Amino acid sequence: MIYEIKKYGEDILKQIAKEVELNEINDEFRKFLDDMVETMYETDGIGLAAPQIGVSKRIFVCDDGNGVLRKIINPIITPLTDETQEFEEGCLSVPGIYKKVERPKKVLLKYLNENGEEVEEIAEDFLAVVVQHENDHLNGILFVEKISPIAKRLIAKKLANMKKENKRIKEKDE
């Protein structure tokens, strides 16, 4: 099943997502994760967080760029270095906008996998960017909030128009 991606300006993208309880992880839940993966690939994404499809849960899926897929539940991310990297990011929820974001280069990623098992791994370089970007979604933060003030001014009009368009669509549907 392919889900509709929520766009900039929609309330759920600004909310802090809720923890997943262990008893929620079952076959139906795993099917939901598979649908998230299908949606991510269908929309040419490399990551997708549950709030982006209207579900306020601490879940995201991502591909590390080498075809290694992760289904991440209740992540905890801890920077392991003061060294940062700048990477041009985009987002399925903010289509058509790509800007540089500075993030820690290496992080410790702790999470539950689709079987409810605890996983701990070190993510660096590209994977570190992806997991931090997706984890931000779980905290109601979009990458456009982390860009430089100059870059924000350059896209302010686009973002305002995107927000206006989404509001118009929502009102039309009601």
| Spatial distance between the Cα atoms of 85 and 18, rounded to a whole number of angstroms | 29
Which sign, positive or negative, has the C-alpha torsion 12, 16, 20, 21? negative
Q: Is 134 a catalytic residue?
A: yes
For the chain, the straight-line distance linking the first and the last C-alpha, in angstroms and rounded, comes to: 24
**DSSP-derived secondary structure letter, 82:** S
| Spatial distance between the Cα atoms of 48 and 70, rounded to a whole number of angstroms | 11
Q: Which of 134, 145, 171, 174 is catalytic?
A: 134
CA angle 142, 143, 147 (to 5 degrees): 130
User: For residue 54, which phi and psi values (nearest 5 degrees)?
Assistant: 85, 15
**DSSP-derived secondary structure letter, 54:** T
Report the C-alpha dihedral over residues 95, 98, 101, 104, rounded to 10 degrees: 70
Residues known to be catalytic: 134
